[in-house]
Amino acid sequence: MSMTPVVKREKLLSFSAVLSILVVLIHTQNTGLYGIRPDGTLLEKIVFYLEELISGDIARVGVPAFFMVSGLLFYRDFDFSRYPSKMKSRFFSLIVPYLLWNLFRFVLFYVLGKVSPEGSSLHQTRVVFTIPNFLEGLFFYKYNLGYWFMYQLILYTILCPLIYLLLKKKPIALLALLTLFILFCTDALGELSLHVFHKKFIQIDGLFYYMLGAFVGMHYFGVVNANSALTRRLAVLGILTGQLCFVLFKVTDFLFFHIMFCTLSAISFWYLFDIIGKKTLPMAITTITFFIYSAHGTVLELFQHIHHILLPHHAVTALVEYLLLPVITIMILVFAAKVLKRFAPHLWKLVNGGR
């Protein structure tokens, strides 16, 4: 069997770390929490549109890009002979941390709900212990909504024999991708994850991006490491076209433009990363990308609950929190990762999926 196709490790680690930071920025958006609207005061308008630009536009590329990278890496060397080893590795890198983080969130917010004062936001959103709640929290991320992405990856992994058969031959693969694209554009299956995250079925948008990455990994892996002047010019054009599609999506609400925005922006960002990401991020961050993704929501929520109680609901407060909280969160997680690596290495390996 031929050697496994290789992606530049340093670039992949830094790229993944940036995507994780983008996901943090999505969840840092706080205009709804502070009641800031686009029809408010001048300062409220500035805060609203700044957060919408960063978290609602730029950062939204992170999730589709993660799906594409996941599909690319899984299928770059996949065939049925590798099925057992792939399932074994994904059990430890996906299922084990998925269950552990869901259990952690359930226990944490159950305890915090018990000890928090009645009437506080933590008490109002407390976890009620029942067997159905526990099972739903453990297996269907009820109290860990950020893990909808992991849930989808697990489902896609289970379906990998079917996905492989669909993508093995280019004509059938193109037909399958076109079908998914049309389903996504027409919203044929009802509400997709553009609006609702907590769904217990396969999300068509995620599957489209995942299978697009898988298709490239199986048939056109050579283009992944392309780094020519023409490639960079096309990437710049892709970014600009993606932004145009974003504007058109906001104006028309037509999902076609949203898909094109995410697809073009994610792919173009990968190729431009050789320029804008020439200096790799510190290893303290690039080696804990999965941990940042898994734990950032908990840190953000706890801070936001505290701020909701202690700080005035004002546009200035919202802006300061929005700018500082991502930095504080990542610093806390870097420190927490170092502590776990040193004092609980086995636990670290489990919660970080063996990475």
User: What is the number of residues in the chain?
Assistant: 355
What pLDDT, on a 0 to 100 scale, did the predictor assign at position 312? 80
pLDDT one-digit tens code per residue, 55-88: 988 898 999 999 999 999 999 988 888 888 999 9
174 belongs to a structural domain: yes
Total tally of structural domains belonging to the chain: 1
Three-state DSSP class for residue 36: coil
82 belongs to a structural domain: yes
Contacting residues for 308 by C-beta, under 8 A, at least 6 apart: 33, 121
Query: Is 276 exposed, middle or buried, given 0-12, 13-18 or 19+ CB atoms closer than 10 A?
Result: exposed
What pLDDT, on a 0 to 100 scale, did the predictor assign at position 68? 96
pLDDT one-digit tens code per residue, 10-61: 888 899 999 999 999 999 999 988 888 888 889 999 999 999 989 988 898 9
What pLDDT, on a 0 to 100 scale, did the predictor assign at position 186? 80
Phi/psi for 265 (5° steps) reads: -65, -45
Can you tell me the distance from the alpha carbon of 145 to that of 122, in angstroms, rounded to the nearest whole number?
16
Q: Higher pLDDT residue, 254 or 336?
A: 336
What pLDDT, on a 0 to 100 scale, did the predictor assign at position 319? 93
Give the range of the structural domain holding residue 187, as residue numbers without chain letter: 9-351
304 belongs to a structural domain: yes
Mean pLDDT over each residue of the chain, to the nearest integer: 88
Are the CB atoms for 110 and 126 separated by under 8 Å?
A: yes
pTM: 0.89
pLDDT one-digit tens code per residue, 272-321: 987 776 566 788 899 999 999 999 999 998 888 787 777 788 899 999 99
1 belongs to a structural domain: no
Q: At residue 174, does pLDDT exceed 70?
A: yes
- For 206-244, b where at least 16 C-beta lie within 10 A, e where not — what string? bbbbbbbbbbbbbbebeebeeeeeeebeebeebbeebee
- For 193-202, b where at least 16 C-beta lie within 10 A, e where not — what string? bbeeeebeee
Phi/psi for 270 (5° steps) reads: -60, -45
Three-state DSSP class for residue 119: coil
Nearest to 158 by CA among 94, 63, 97: 94
159 belongs to a structural domain: yes
DSSP string, 234-300: HHHHHHHHHHHHHHHHHHH--HHHHHHHHHHHHHHHHHHHHHHT-SPPPHHHHTTHHHHHHHHHHHH
What pLDDT, on a 0 to 100 scale, did the predictor assign at position 277? 62
Are the CB atoms for 290 and 353 separated by under 8 Å?
A: yes
